[in-house]
Amino acid sequence: GDYAKIDNHRALRNGYPEVIFCQGKSLEHINGIISKMLELGENNILATRASKEVYESVCKITDHAIYYDLARIIVIKRKEIIKTKKNILIMTGGTADIPVAEEAAVTAEVLGNSVERLYDVGVAGIHRLLARLDVICSANVIICVAGMEGALGSVVGGLVDVPVIAVPTSVGYGASFNGVAALLSMLNSCASGTSVVNIDNGFGAGYTASMINKLNGDD
Amino acid sequence: GDYAKIDNHRALRNGYPEVIFCQGKSLEHINGIISKMLELGENNILATRASKEVYESVCKITDHAIYYDLARIIVIKRKEIIKTKKNILIMTGGTADIPVAEEAAVTAEVLGNSVERLYDVGVAGIHRLLARLDVICSANVIICVAGMEGALGSVVGGLVDVPVIAVPTSVGYGASFNGVAALLSMLNSCASGTSVVNIDNGFGAGYTASMINKLNGDD
Amino acid sequence: GDYAKIDNHRALRNGYPEVIFCQGKSLEHINGIISKMLELGENNILATRASKEVYESVCKITDHAIYYDLARIIVIKRKEIIKTKKNILIMTGGTADIPVAEEAAVTAEVLGNSVERLYDVGVAGIHRLLARLDVICSANVIICVAGMEGALGSVVGGLVDVPVIAVPTSVGYGASFNGVAALLSMLNSCASGTSVVNIDNGFGAGYTASMINKLNGDD
Amino acid sequence: GDYAKIDNHRALRNGYPEVIFCQGKSLEHINGIISKMLELGENNILATRASKEVYESVCKITDHAIYYDLARIIVIKRKEIIKTKKNILIMTGGTADIPVAEEAAVTAEVLGNSVERLYDVGVAGIHRLLARLDVICSANVIICVAGMEGALGSVVGGLVDVPVIAVPTSVGYGASFNGVAALLSMLNSCASGTSVVNIDNGFGAGYTASMINKLNGDD
Amino acid sequence: GDYAKIDNHRALRNGYPEVIFCQGKSLEHINGIISKMLELGENNILATRASKEVYESVCKITDHAIYYDLARIIVIKRKEIIKTKKNILIMTGGTADIPVAEEAAVTAEVLGNSVERLYDVGVAGIHRLLARLDVICSANVIICVAGMEGALGSVVGGLVDVPVIAVPTSVGYGASFNGVAALLSMLNSCASGTSVVNIDNGFGAGYTASMINKLNGDD
Amino acid sequence: GDYAKIDNHRALRNGYPEVIFCQGKSLEHINGIISKMLELGENNILATRASKEVYESVCKITDHAIYYDLARIIVIKRKEIIKTKKNILIMTGGTADIPVAEEAAVTAEVLGNSVERLYDVGVAGIHRLLARLDVICSANVIICVAGMEGALGSVVGGLVDVPVIAVPTSVGYGASFNGVAALLSMLNSCASGTSVVNIDNGFGAGYTASMINKLNGDD
Amino acid sequence: GDYAKIDNHRALRNGYPEVIFCQGKSLEHINGIISKMLELGENNILATRASKEVYESVCKITDHAIYYDLARIIVIKRKEIIKTKKNILIMTGGTADIPVAEEAAVTAEVLGNSVERLYDVGVAGIHRLLARLDVICSANVIICVAGMEGALGSVVGGLVDVPVIAVPTSVGYGASFNGVAALLSMLNSCASGTSVVNIDNGFGAGYTASMINKLNGDD
Amino acid sequence: GDYAKIDNHRALRNGYPEVIFCQGKSLEHINGIISKMLELGENNILATRASKEVYESVCKITDHAIYYDLARIIVIKRKEIIKTKKNILIMTGGTADIPVAEEAAVTAEVLGNSVERLYDVGVAGIHRLLARLDVICSANVIICVAGMEGALGSVVGGLVDVPVIAVPTSVGYGASFNGVAALLSMLNSCASGTSVVNIDNGFGAGYTASMINKLNGDD
Ligand SMILES: Nc1ncnc2c1ncn2[C@@H]1O[C@H](COP(=O)(O)O)[C@@H](O)[C@H]1O
Ligand SMILES: Nc1ncnc2c1ncn2[C@@H]1O[C@H](COP(=O)(O)O)[C@@H](O)[C@H]1O
Ligand SMILES: Nc1ncnc2c1ncn2[C@@H]1O[C@H](COP(=O)(O)O)[C@@H](O)[C@H]1O
Ligand SMILES: Nc1ncnc2c1ncn2[C@@H]1O[C@H](COP(=O)(O)O)[C@@H](O)[C@H]1O
Ligand SMILES: [Mg+2]
Ligand SMILES: [Mg+2]
Ligand SMILES: [Mg+2]
Ligand SMILES: [Mg+2]
Ligand SMILES: [Mg+2]
Ligand SMILES: [Mg+2]
Ligand SMILES: [Mg+2]
Ligand SMILES: [Mg+2]
């Protein structure tokens, strides 16, 4: 169809995958876009915010779709992915933050990064985080995913000398206001070197972390 | 004058000091209330949110006024204050939070509590806090005063088994929204045993901590 | 599974129950965590925000689960609970606030406290509250649960000399903004000695009240 | 000048005074409007939100201006004011709410009502309010002025069977958000028969109360 | 049951009906309260925010229940209702505001008032409103119900000399924020004599209007 | 200086004046920009949000500056301005809205439009507006400037068949939230054909109205 | 029925279609209004926010209903529509904004305008927009529909010299707050000549654009 | 003094400068901290949010202080600063955003980065930005500083393949809400690879950009 202008100038230049954001799009519409992508290029394809139903529909037009259900991502792999030596560490405050963290993790992996995961290490039980200082201090870029009071980014940002990307999640209730409390907390972080993406935007965090991780080469 | 009904039934029962909130009251009005208090009872008097100018005005009607300038509190001491054995620990994230902390500290002291101070130990430099675990773990009640991302209460609340009172401060700029970010952060704390008072309400925190500290006797 | 790091250092030290927050977790995930808890320790287990469906699922792995449906709590009792002599009083403004009050009550009871209930005594019918001054004045700690205008805490806080924990609820409509009106009202309470927890956070109130009630011994 | 179209059709019909809102208007502009009013009609004139400076300026064009400094109102009395038999009771939670209460009181008086005042009887010291049930129960209309948690209206509304007008004030700090906490509290009042006006709008409350008090005659 | 303290002191004094707010209560709970009311007194009973399902359930315990479906109110009439001579006029801006208006109308009628209705006369078609100036000017009290920009109250308030109660509704979309736009608009009304109740609170408006309409007798 | 890139491609094409927004710029900085404009082109220059102090400073570099003090605009006229036959009508709700209205008026006039003014005709005194239906109905484009409840745009929009641009102003207090109430009211207007600009943005309204007024020629 | 006063004075004067907003109205109610419209006049009828179900219901009373499903509009065409020569251009940032854009497009077409569509040209891929400068610069009026960061209006407004109407959409998640981010962005646009309508208000944008496009004739 | 615990463990490890945030600190307090820093280490010192008055005070204790007045930063240079080969590009939307941009620029330079500046290239005049694509595409990291609608980050983020840090500023008025509009806009950016810092936080942006720019070496 003519409904979406596929933006493939980035992909042409540097092998970035094509990305499609599925939320709010019809199955037919999604398949139309993916078909066009399959025709036009050779890049890998990443479909985010994809339900199981979307995955099943996409399977009708390609055999190469893999579904990451926690991350709600479909990957259509057409090119080999070479991983960086240095890794991106992805941490969460609680277990309910894991879907957002996985969206970041799968995105970063498809973009060619080595990814380490450290989940459920929220600051209200600081010993869990301190027990893993080795992993934390050996990362090249860190993504901190947290809802509720969103303090993970501040504590981690104060421990390391690498860029930290903080992702607020909508996990919580009452005065968490669907992630606003965590968002504000992260924007006010006293730890220098921290920046923030939209609430629940695991994709954006993974993408940004990849850009940073691959800057200046990787060796 | 007739403008304010002095509430002295609490004081009668249990030796609580009389309290007057000076902000927004005229010098004349404040002196009127204090004069009446001086006549009516024998309790100590605590005037909060008092500027230096208020202090100087109060000095005209009594020789016993002491001014705590950081805390912005005037104390008129008329009765001996006996201190508890167990103490209240008051912590701050940064140095700009100290005035609010001192408001809590002076309040708690006038109410007869032993108070310990641990300032500028914000979570973005977690080593500073961890270096003082001894002090933190020996407190009977803890007050955590913090602005910006307000994460201090969560970290401390996770380390101890005593009640924590979190006080958000209006310290910060931009998306701190004059303390709202810290307030929300504290209300969403993942650490059980934490409760919250109004932004910059050092007095309320000191008063509540005192009530808790003196509950069930002190020995 | 590996998805959640069970925090049992508090429990080891002092017999606190293990707690699991069920909202947003899958049945499988919840059973995984509880199984691990059942293996690892001897403490009682408290599962909050648990639907009937969660309860039925938990029954498959243990015979000792009891369901408090108003409170939406599952208790797995493995150790005798010895109650304090002094009690925690839990009050509500209306009948719709009862589920949150029960979350607080069951939490406090499992933590070993004697609990008194005084429901539907909102300030718009002040005679109902005044008729029970005896009960109110004999409590050691008070939890005030209210939605709408949330004024219960202020009135009660002005009547007693013990700590009051105010819990705003999401009960109401229109400009109650799902509990924000009550939350703000409580944060601005003119009664000293009042602190606040998150909207609908009965668990947090019960836990904090227990900490306070048991401080300095109970005799 | 031509800058303001004086609305004198109400006044013509029923002897209402002319009203001018001074805030944000220049001295010259205010005097221009008042001069025109003095020429055009015989009604009393009420200038609200008037500073002392405005008063002094108005004195240059009329000898009949009286300044109520607490209320920040100038009254230019040209007609006899006959008072109603039934009265309007005006209550405040604290002493800082008095300026707003006086704006309501002077407005109601100039409009020909008998006014009773009961100040500083906030709900956090409920005994003060209960001690005056006689005055409260003999009023024909009640205005409740309160800042902070704004609960006065709910308690009073539950005690009486006459209309209550609640006026939130901007008194408070932190999470009072310049009167928003009190406003929301009042809008959510569980007491039937209560309605609300804008933050600090003493004039509106006095005017509405007068309309109600004089409805259906007064005898 | 013991779950709700029926507040019948107002009813005893002056024949007011008993009121029950059904939203958020179980069928069983509602029937329990109504049974008790049926036993205890002789007053009429008004159940607001009642779905058809609630009505059918209530029919099992009484034959006298009448259901007003637009108003979502159940009335159990046990005493004759004598209507006032002077009437309350209820106006709406649009047709979607009618359910809230009917909640006000039925409430006022059950409380013994003559009620006039004037619906769908929003200010964006001012001729519709001006065409009915006769009805508007002959009312004793007016209730203005409007969503969206909520301007009805201001225009009407400027036309009449009787009290106006403005009811914002949650009708609208986007930046109406579920009634907040209308609420703010009404609170800022430039027409003196207007007061406001909570969003969608037809009951409160009807009740307040009745109090006012019946004040000072009706003859 | 090099600090600001003067945007003169619009001006080149169609004789639009150069515009400079003075708020937040230093006197030196403003004079630097204007000097460059004076050199580079032949267009008229409009400096908005200019204080008297800015005007006096600008007089040092040009003799042609005229100051419109109500509008806070400086005009440096270098080209003849030919006025349209059809006019733009600018209305305000109150007198405090006049500065914003004048910003719109002077902007529209400098851009070559005939401008009609109708001030202080707010909807709470609807007769004032209805008395001028002739002027209202003969305009080609209308700008409605109002603070407080901001209802002017809705009433006018419903009366005419030409585009209405609504400008909320920050006039008001309390729940006007510096213009937010008026802004929301205007965005929710039930009158079709109305669009809105930023709070206090008289310049934007005047500019947009001019674009509309001059579209499709003027004859 | 009598429930809605059909406003046909505009239609009488100038051939505007009758408009009915279906959201929140019952099928029966909608058919009642349309039946009356069919009887009373000869104008075309536009039913917005109409679901497929509404369409099927309307088909029972007329054979002339056409359903635009993307736009959610029913058109009942009874009069020939003559199109303008100059056109309205409707642009969107993404594909999810298309329903709102289509609401604007169908509205404008039924009102007799030539409409051009340019979809999915968001500013994060600016080459897509620049590639179509010809279409953009030949429009007479432009409607920019965008969610998320809502920047489309600013970029387009800076490129053209015709009026731009910006429509924020509720497309997005997290800190988009259902269109608030886009709304604020558009209200703050630095491009002169831009005005804004309510979130998702495609109808209002189409109607306003039509008024502007047809002003001063079309030749 | 003892009032601030200087955090010099980062500096020890990697030559980072000491940083002091001056806003809200007294002159005496600032000099106390700087004196201690001068004694304890050899690192450069950066004092942000420093007024001219602070600078003059600091000059009393050291001869090496340099004041960057636009950036409001004092630098005390004690070690040679070696610049990276790759550069950080700092862009602003308008001229009023320059102080925040300069805070970022000076921070990045003191941290050892080559910095390029491109100011006043806001999206409402997109030709200014497109004219400098060479500079934009040759940067290694980009900081976009913008107030008002804050769209700069989205446009730039869509043009480049390097990380973009967006800094909202409090520049604007009305519905810019002191930077909230820009903040939300940036958080919702459709351009992947963009992250955000607090409103007006030039320091944080410069620091984060430096961390990124120096990651993986610079050659
Ligand atoms: N989960 C996500 N959150 C935010 N943005 C996303 C997400 N997934 C994809 N995107 C962005 O959305 C673009 C695709 O949008 P669309 O053309 O609507 O499918 C991609 O180029 C990404 O920049
Ligand atoms: N629709 C309504 N909106 C607000 N308050 C109501 C409503 N209906 C009843 N009420 C109030 O709620 C009280 C009964 O509440 P409850 O005891 O929870 O049933 C009544 O006395 C009324 O004051
Ligand atoms: N009062 C105003 N409000 C909003 N925007 C304005 C105002 N005055 C001028 N502008 C815009 O600001 C631009 C000039 O901004 P600057 O380059 O910062 O002086 C003009 O081209 C106008 O688009
Ligand atoms: N302009 C600024 N904005 C935000 N944070 C800053 C700024 N300047 C310094 N900081 C941070 O504040 C810390 C110093 O704070 P303090 O100990 O209160 O002087 C530094 O380590 C930085 O992380
Ligand atoms: Mg956990
Ligand atoms: Mg520090
Ligand atoms: Mg009840
Ligand atoms: Mg008092
Ligand atoms: Mg209608
Ligand atoms: Mg006027
Ligand atoms: Mg796209
Ligand atoms: Mg510029």
Q: How many CB atoms lie within 10 A of CB H78?
A: 16
Q: Are F181 and F173 in contact (CB under 8 A)?
A: no
Cross-chain residue pair C126–D159, CB shorter than 8 Å: yes
For chain D, what percent of residues have pLDDT higher than 90?
Answer: 84
Q: Say if residues B189 and A149 touch (Cβ distance below 8 Å).
A: yes
Calpha distance G165→G107 (Å, rounded): 14
Q: Do F201 and H174 touch (CB under 8 A)?
A: yes
- Half-sphere exposure at residue C126, Cβ-oriented, CA atoms within 13 angstroms: 23
Rounded to whole angstroms, the Cα distance separating E189 from E195 reads: 9
Nearest atom of ligand 1 to the alpha carbon of H192: 23
pLDDT band for position H16 (50/70/90)? Answer: confident
Write the burial class of residue G12 (CB in 10 Å: 0-12 exposed, 13-18 middle, 19+ buried): exposed
In whole angstroms, give the CA distance from residue D54 to residue D52: 5
Distance CA C158, CA C164 (A): 10
Contacts of B56 (CB under 8 A, 6+ apart): none
Average pLDDT over all residues of chain B: 91
Burial class (CB in 10 A: 0-12, 13-18, 19+), G150: buried
Which atom of ligand 2 is closest in space to residue E49's alpha carbon? 1
* A162-219 tens-digit pLDDT: 999 999 999 999 999 999 999 999 999 988 899 999 999 999 999 999 999 999 775 5
Name the minimum distance, in Å, from the CA of D212 to any CA of chain E. 6
Q: What is the DSSP string of A123-188?
A: GGGHHHHHTTHHHHHT-SEEEEEE-TT--HHHHHHHH-SS-EEEEE-----GGGGGGHHHHHHHHT
Partner chains of A (3+ C-beta pairs under 8 Å): B, C, G, H
Query: At residue A131, does pLDDT exceed 50?
Result: yes
**Model confidence pLDDT, tens digit, residues H130-182:** 999 999 999 999 999 999 989 999 999 999 999 999 999 999 999 999 999 99
**Residue F48 structure tokens:** 């908005």
A–G contact: 3+ Cβ pairs < 8 A = yes
Question: Distance between CA F50 and CA F19 in Å, rounded?
Answer: 12
> Which residue in A208, A25, A189, A206 sits closest to A100, CA to CA?
A206
CB F20 less than 6 A from any atom of ligand 3: yes
Short-list C69, C101, C72, C73, CA closest to C88:
C101
Give nearest CA residue, ligand 2 atom 21: E19
Contact: A174, C25; criterion CB under 8 Å: no
* The pair of three-digit structure tokens given for residue F190, joined into one six-digit string: 């039930």
Chain B: closest CA distance from residue D109 (Å): 20
Q: Work out the average pLDDT over C32-39.
A: 94
Strand partners, B68: B73
Contact (Cβ atoms closer than 8 angstroms) between residue B100 and residue B81? no
CB E46 within 8 A of CB E107: yes
Taking CB atoms and an 8 Å limit, are E208 and D194 in contact across chains? yes
Work out the average pLDDT over D91-98. Answer: 95
pLDDT band at residue H15 under the 50/70/90 scheme = low
User: Residue D152 has which token pair?
Assistant: 């006065």
pLDDT exceeds cutoff 50 at F8? no
% of chain A at pLDDT higher than 90: 84
Q: Which of A3, A5, A25, A178 to mutate to test the interface with G (most CBs of G within 10 A)?
A: A5
Of G5, G199, G200, the CB nearest to E120: G5
Amino acid at G110: V
Residue with the larger pLDDT of the pair H190 and C47: C47
**HSE-CB for E197 with a 13 A CA cutoff:** 32
| Residue F15 clears pLDDT 80, i.e. is over it | no
Q: Which among E125, E159, E181 has CB closest to F185?
A: E181
Exposure string over H84-119, b if 16+ CB within 10 A, otherwise e: bebbbbbbbbbbbbbbbbbbbbbbbbbbbbbbbebb
pLDDT digits (tens, 9 = 90+) for A65-94: 999 999 999 999 999 999 999 999 999 999
- Residue nearest atom 20 of ligand 4, based on CA coordinates: H19
- Contact at 8 Å (CB) between F104 and F206? yes
Q: CA distances (Å), D192 to each of B211, C180, E81, E201, in order?
A: 36, 21, 20, 11
Q: How far is the CA of B175 from the centre of ligand 3 (A)?
A: 25
pLDDT at D206 over 50: yes
Ligand nearest to the CA of H199: 4
Q: Which ligand is in closest contact with the Cα of A191?
A: 4
pLDDT at G120 over 70: yes
Cα separation of D17 and H152, whole Å?
Answer: 55
Residues of chain E with pLDDT under 70: 1-15, 218-219
Beta bridge partners of residue H66, listed in sequence order: H75
**Cα–Cα distance between D145 and D165 in angstroms, integer?**
9
Q: Which of D63, D69, D76 is nearest to D20 (CA)?
A: D76
**pLDDT at residue D6, as a whole number:** 55
Tell me, in angstroms, the distance from the centre of ligand 7 to residue C109's CA: 26
Separation of CA D195 and ligand 8 centre (Å): 25
pLDDT higher than threshold 60 for residue G29 = yes
Please write the tens of the pLDDT for every residue from E60-103: 999 999 999 999 999 999 999 999 999 999 999 999 999 999 99
Residues of chain A in contact with residue C168, where contact means CB-CB under 8 angstroms, are 174
Look over chain C and give the mean of its residue pLDDT values, rounded to a whole number: 92
3-state SS assignment for residue H126:
helix
Helix F202-214 to helix F98-110 angle (10° resolution) is 40
Contact list in A for residue B154 (CB cut-off 8 A) is 123-124, 149, 151
Distance E20 CA to ligand 7 centre (A): 8
Instruction: Identify which of H102, H197, H203, H207 to mutate to test ligand 4's pocket (most ligand atoms within 8 A of the CB).
Output: H203
At G74 the three-state DSSP class reads strand
Cα H119 to middle of ligand 12, angstroms:
9
Instruction: Please say whether the dihedral angle defined by the alpha carbons of residues G105, G106, G107 and G112, taken in this order, is positive or negative.
Output: positive
Distance CA H83, CA G78 (A): 74
Please give the torsion angle defined by the CA atoms of residues C19, C24, C26 and C27, in that order, rounded to the nearest 10 degrees: 50
Q: How far away is chain H from the Cα of G38, in angstroms, using its nearest Cα?
A: 43
Burial class (CB in 10 A: 0-12, 13-18, 19+), A180: buried
**Distance, CA of H43 to CA of G58 (rounded, Å):** 78
Neighbours of chain B (3+ CB pairs under 8 A): A, C, D, H
* Chain B residues interacting with chain C (CB cutoff of 8 angstroms): 10, 13-14, 16, 19, 86, 140-141, 161-163, 165, 183, 187-188, 192-199, 203-205, 207-208, 211-213, 215-219
Question: Can you give the pLDDT at residue G7?
Answer: 54
Give the mean pLDDT of G90-95.
96
Strand partners, G115: G88
- C-alpha E7 to ligand 7 mean position (Å): 7
CB contact under 8 A, E193 and D183: no
Which two three-digit tokens encode residue C183? 């939350």
Distance from CA of G196 to the nearest CA of F (A): 5
Averaged confidence pLDDT in chain D:
91
**What are phi and psi for residue E57, nearest 5 degrees?**
-65, -40
Predicted confidence band of residue B8 (pLDDT cuts 50, 70, 90)? very low
Per-residue pLDDT for H31 more than 70? yes
Rank B119-128, G138-147, G208-217 by mean pLDDT and report only the highest: G138-147
CB G173 to CB A4 under 8 A? no
How far is G50 from chain H, CA to nearest CA, in Å?
30
Q: Which of these, E70, E22, E60, E54, lies nearest to E38 by C-alpha position? A: E60
Q: Whose CA is nearest to atom 12 of ligand 2?
A: E21
G200 → closest Cβ in E121, E128, E173: E173
CA distance C93 to H154: 49
**How many whole angstroms from C94 Cα to the centroid of ligand 2?**
10
- Closest chain D residue by Cα to residue E184: D198
Contact B201 D98 (CB under 8 A): no
Which chain D residues have a beta carbon less than 8 Å from that of F128? 5, 7
Quote the CA–CA distance of D184 and D197 in Å, as a whole number. Answer: 11
Query: CA of C9: how far to CAs of A128, A130, C34, C215, G44, in Å?
Result: 11, 14, 16, 19, 74
Q: Which residue CA neighbors atom 2 of ligand 4 most closely?
A: H203
Q: How far is the CA of C20 from the centre of ligand 5 (A)?
A: 8
| pLDDT tens sequence across G143-165 | 999 999 899 999 999 999 999 99
Q: Say how far apart CA E202 and CA C171 lie, in whole Å.
A: 18
Is pLDDT of G2 > 60? no
Asked which of B108-122, D11-25, G21-35, G105-119 is least confident by mean pLDDT, the reply is D11-25
Give me the residue label for tokens 């509990």. Answer: C179
Calpha distance H175→F168 (Å, rounded): 10
Q: How far apart are the C-alpha atoms of H86 and H107, rounded to whole Å? A: 16
pLDDT band at B190 (very low <50, low <70, confident <90, very high): confident
pLDDT value of residue E114: 98
Phi and psi at G214, nearest 5°, equal -95, -5
Beta-carbon neighbours within 5 Å of ion ligand 8:
D 120
Name B45's Cβ contacts closer than 8 Å, sequence gap at least 6.
B17, B18, B19, B20, B34, B37, B38, B74, B75, B76, B78
Going by alpha carbons, the residue nearest to atom 17 of ligand 2 is: E20
Closest chain D C-alpha to C176 CA, distance in angstroms:
6
Measure C23 CA to nearest chain A CA, in Å: 9
CB contact under 8 A, G215 and F13: no
Compare all CA atoms of chain B with the CA of A177 and give the residue at the minimum distance.
Answer: B184
Q: Say whether pLDDT at H7 is over 60.
A: no
Q: F49 in ligand 3 pocket by Cβ < 6 Å?
A: yes
Q: Is the dihedral of CA B154, B160, B164, B166 positive or negative?
A: negative
3-state SS class at A68: strand
Tell me, in angstroms, the distance from the centre of ligand 1 to residue H31's CA.
49
Other C-beta atoms closer than 10 Å to the C-beta of G6 total 17
> Judging by beta carbons within 10 Å of its beta carbon (0-12, 13-18, 19+), is residue C30 exposed, middle or buried?
buried
| Contact of G168 with G143, CB cutoff 8 Å | no
Q: Which atom of ligand 4 is nearest to the CA of B96?
A: 18
Average pLDDT, chain H: 92
What does the pLDDT average to over F145-161? 93
| Residue for token pair 């006298």 | E64
Q: Which residues pair with C126 in a beta bridge?
A: none
Tell me the torsion sign for CA atoms G126, G131, G135, G139: positive
Q: Which of F120, F171, F175 sits opposite D5 (nearest CB)?
A: F120
